[in-house]
Structure 1
Amino acid sequence: MRDAKALAESREIEIIVAERALRDALGGPRVMAQQLRHLAEVSERPNITTAGQVP
């Protein structure tokens, strides 16, 4: 429930992902794929800005 409040459309959110977070498959490939799908879905919302990755 807390995550839903954080992603509410009344807030502007910028997503920046560390490169290591994309390289290290914590939880295994299946978990990593689910997390990336979730980020892709969330980034489609009008109040979310995806700034990319940082080294």
Structure 2
Amino acid sequence: MMVNYAWQEGGEEEAMKDNNVLYETALKQFDTVAEMLNIEDGIRERMRYPKRSLI
């Protein structure tokens, strides 16, 4: 298992963007659930790009 840190990749958003189909699917599912739970936009945006990720 490898851990990627956002600061090593050049930023939070860039660390998660890699045109990965599974990631895009997960984001769509997250957006659907976040809407159902009425999560605020700012919190929602922060949750989309975590500081760390497991690969």
Higher relative contact order (CA 8 A, sep 6+): 2
**Under a length normalisation based on structure 1, what TM-score does the superposition of the two structures give?**
0.37
